[in-house]
Amino acid sequence: MVSAHSLLAFAGLAFVLVLIPGPSVLFTIGRAITVGRRAALLTLLGNAAGVYGQVVAVAVGLGAVVLASATIFTAVKLAGACYLVWLGVQALRHRHDIAADLTAGAGGGGRGAGAAVRDGFVVGLTNPKTIVFIAALLPQFADPATGSVVAQMMVLGACIPLFGVLLDSVWALAAGAARDWFARAPHRLAAIGGTGGLVMIGLGTSLVFTGRKE
């Protein structure tokens, strides 16, 4: 059983972590601009599931292995970075299709709900910002004297994706509103779609230099 003190303390740290804009926020904004609010919100759900996957990994001991091995940590980080770059390139390639998709009511660049959730899951699972935070701090808030450590970490770790969905949804809705405004001029919508692609490419590139260097 998680103590109220531990829950409040970890929830406070998790809130600060999510409140500070990071890869997930930039990714959400890029997605809202390029594929619209609905797909961005679905991406958020996938991202939350991916982040919780990190929580599960830490709870069962895999997180410590990833954090201890520079090779594994770098591999996970590069996988996420490459996926972000690929999504950004796709957004750039199809930036002129955004206006047509919006007019037709697709609002998702031809990609279904499952694809949006999957994209978010991959980015969330490979986010180095949360890997380090969860692996370094989550175990410290679990008390063996009050019950299963694994169960406590599962409960505490849920704070991160929960706050992520709540707070990042604001960014998604705001960026989606900006996209709707640009839709009044197709050439401007194509330009903002290209900008969203560049944001994701830049984010993916920056992740290569995030975290451990050894």
- The parent domain of residue 143 ranges over 24-207
User: What is the tens place of the pLDDT at every residue in 191-208?
Assistant: 656 666 777 677 677 766
Residue 183 domain-assigned (yes or no) = yes
Mean pLDDT of the chain, nearest integer: 76
Residue 44 lies in a domain: yes
Q: Under DSSP, is residue 10 helix (H, G, I), strand (E, B) or coil?
A: helix
pLDDT at 38 over 80: yes
> Can you give the three-state secondary structure of 145-212, one letter per residue?
HHCCHHHHHHHHHCHHHHHHHHHHHHHHHHHHHHHHHHCCCHHHHHHHHHHHHHHHHHHHHHHCCCCC
17 domain-assigned: no
User: By C-alpha distance, which of 206, 208, 212, 209 is closest to 67?
Assistant: 212
Q: Mean pLDDT, to the nearest integer, of 168-180?
A: 83
Question: Is position 13 within any domain?
Answer: no
Q: Is residue 65 part of a domain?
A: yes
| 141-144-150 Cα angle (round to 5) | 70
Taking the complete model, does pTM exceed 0.85, yes or no? no
91-149 confidence digits (pLDDT tens): 677 665 555 554 444 444 445 788 889 988 988 888 777 877 787 778 778 877 888 88
Specify if 14 maps to a domain: no
**What local confidence, expressed as pLDDT, does residue 192 receive?**
59
Q: Which long-range contacts (CB under 8 A, 24 or more apart) does 27-30 make?
A: 27/84, 27/120, 27/123, 27/200, 27/203, 28/168, 28/171, 28/172, 28/175, 29/171, 29/172, 29/175, 29/196, 29/199, 30/87, 30/88, 30/91, 30/196, 30/197, 30/199, 30/200, 30/203
Q: What percent of the chain has pLDDT over 70?
A: 70
Helix (H, G, I), strand (E, B) or coil at 70: helix
The answer to the question of residue 162 being in a domain is yes
Q: For position 166, what pLDDT does the model report?
A: 93
Q: Report, as an integer, the average pLDDT of 5-13.
A: 88
Reported confidence tier of residue 162, pLDDT bands at 50, 70, 90: very high
The count of structural domains within the chain is 1
